[in-house]
Structure 1
Amino acid sequence: MEEMIEATGVDPTLTAGSTYLTVEGLAELLHTSPNTVHYWIKVGRAPSSFKVGRRRLFARADVDAWVEEHRESGVA
Structure 2
Amino acid sequence: MPKPYPREFRDDVVRVARGREPGVTVEQIVKDFGVHPMTLFKWLRQADIDAGATPGTASTTAMQAASSTTGRASTDRSARVRW
TM value normalised by structure 2: 0.28
Structure of higher CA gyration radius = 2
Instruction: Please identify which structure carries the higher helix content.
Output: 2
TM value normalised by structure 1: 0.29
Instruction: Please identify which structure carries the higher strand content.
Output: 1
